[in-house]
A and B are shown apart, each in its own frame.
Chain A
Amino acid sequence: MSTLEIRGLQVSVNTDAGAVEILKGVDLTIKSGETHAIMGPNGSGKSTLAYSIAGHPKYSITGGTVTLDGVDLLEMTVDERAKAGLFLAMQYPVEVPGVSVSNFLRTAVTALRGEAPKLRTWTGEVKDAMEALKMDPAFATRNVNEGFSGGEKKRHEIMQLELLKPKIAILDETDSGLDVDALRIVSEGVVRAKEANNLGVLLITHYTRILRYIKPDFVHVFANGKIVEEGGAELAEKLEANGYAEYVGS
């Protein structure tokens, strides 16, 4: 049983015009097996929350705490956070020229497990994960995210989620840019990872359509750098009908 605990998190980003505060005190607790959806308008700070928890150097933490099972994540380097059990599926996965998917995955799993996986079992694991996400086997020989379509990038992120077996996963707009079929395939992957590893999920999205496949236990409305309303799955339906208008500018 794991718990990601975010308390009073304040984050700013440095711009040419000086530091700009983006997160203005976020409180959120995610436990193993739970799915939390964070919904909000563009520019409300949803992605900043995701990237600052993962440790992106662009963001400065100016207040608050983030712990995973009581251990301070904010003191850790980016790779240490991953080793502690955190995973971030990115909205815009980054191209790494000249590095094949299979080499990348093997390097990552070796780092996370502390030893190289047995070749035969690992090859089988990768093959199964790719098949489950309906990916061409040739995918493993391609360079990481290079020339991938939007859908391929997202499948690749979820394949890593299934293979690397984190405790808590943050999915940053994993649904954006996906057609209906790809959305279903990717969502099924998230559900599989949840069931297999009792994963806790923080799902960041703009739209409700992914919530038809991944049922949230909690829905949090995010606006102006903080959570402004919380509820169950029914809150998503209300947002679907009314939009974010009542939260913006408040």
Chain B
Amino acid sequence: MSLLTTNYLTPTGREEAWRFTPLKRLGGLHDGTAKVGDRQSLSYKSSASGVKFERISRELATSPVETDDVVMQRVREGAHNVATLTIAANTEVAETITLSRSAQGLDSAEFSRVRIELGAHARATVIMENTGDAFLAEDVEFVLAPGSNLTFVSLQEWNTGSTHLAKHHAIVDRDASFKSITVTVGGSLVRLLPSVEFIGQGASCELLGVYFATEGQFFEHRMFVDHKVPNAKSRVNYKGALAGQGAHTVWIGDVFIRAAAEGTDTYELNRNLLLSDGARADSVPNLEIETGEIVGAGHASTTGRFDDEQLFYLMSRGIELSDARRLVVRGFFNEIVTEIGDAVIQDRLMDRIDNELAKAGS
């Protein structure tokens, strides 16, 4: 059991970063009243050489960056160690490395710290599979040395009732590429903060995500891409569907192009499909630009319902309404889900999406 001593500023809900989040449903993770257990639910599976997984005690694992998020500050103080995955320089890991969490329990919270470090010119794909009952606050850091390449897939397939707050912060050095695919389809409340910080020229990131919220679910994806060096490239594409009373999703895309970041190329996109009444999608792209010497900067956000013309076209070929809707929704998510590159996981997610849609009473 951890005892937290520091007096953090508890969010009130009026702060920009918290204005959409239902604080009452955080189980006290934001104000320090949550009971924190000693679980370590993360397990590791890989036999590849050049890959090392170890738990480094808190005292020896200094974080490369400060965090301004109060929950993450508590996690850093409360977690005893940092689960660290290291891929050695010049190692190309062909097989996917799996980190999984399952069946944790809701009686007390887990504070977890994870760090994934790639040496220079290393290349790997890491999948984090989250299933079971979670009451979790998680600080995940990625450190990408020059020329390295990481694809990170995080799957939130939590059981009903789960609460999951996490920050995914990537520090991307010269000519390194970070690609993340975030899938959120389960849990009561999920709030993920993917962020990227470019520290060397020629760095790039691609942040992709899909989410599907049904009755009563709250899913927030709030990203921040910090262009602080020249000639970096970022792409963001999140797609969500919502169905059912009280389904609520939030997508925030903050991109900051600092004065030094000449030659920046950035584009972010969020699309939402509202499948029923009573659901709410918030979508806020934010672009702050301190230099005009850039390649491109743009964003787009759309929220819409089923397209009658698409459904008519499919049905005019004999396809029933429910099947036509299923095709359209699968098609909507297909672009991003296929990026995962694992047929078993893709099929499982598509089946789950079908089920969510069926549950929503199409």
Contact = CB atoms under 8 A, between A and B. Distances in A.
Interface stretch (B62-70, B164-172, B307-315): B307-315
A111 B316 contact: no
A238 B308 CA distance: 39
A96 B331 contact: yes
12 contacts: A54-B316, A77-B321, A79-B315, A79-B316, A82-B317, A82-B318, A83-B318, A87-B316, A94-B310, A98-B334, A108-B314, A160-B317
B355 to A, nearest CB: 18
A77 B318 CA distance: 10
Contacts of B310: 94-96
B321 A143 contact: no
Given A77-B321, A79-B321, A96 B328 contact: yes
B308 A57 contact: yes
A127 interface: no
A104 B327 contact: yes
B312 A56 contact: yes
A97 B309 CA distance: 13
Contacts, number: 83
Contacts of B315: 55, 77-79, 82
Interface of B: 307-310, 312-321, 323-324, 327-328, 330-335
A99 B317 contact: no
B320 A111 contact: yes
Given A107-B323, A111-B323, A78 B316 contact: yes
Contacts of A56: 312
Most buried by A among B317, B321, B324, B328: B317
A95 B311 CA distance: 11
A62 to B, nearest CB: 20
Interface residues on A, range: 20 to 34
A219 interface: no
A74 interface: no
Candidate in B310, B319, B324 with the most chain A CB atoms within 10 angstroms: B319
A112 interface: yes
B264 to A, nearest CB: 28
Nearest to A95: B310
A54 B315 CA distance: 10
A78 B308 CA distance: 12
A143 B332 CA distance: 11
Contacts of A58: 308
A96 B319 contact: no
Interface string A90-110: 100111111100011001100
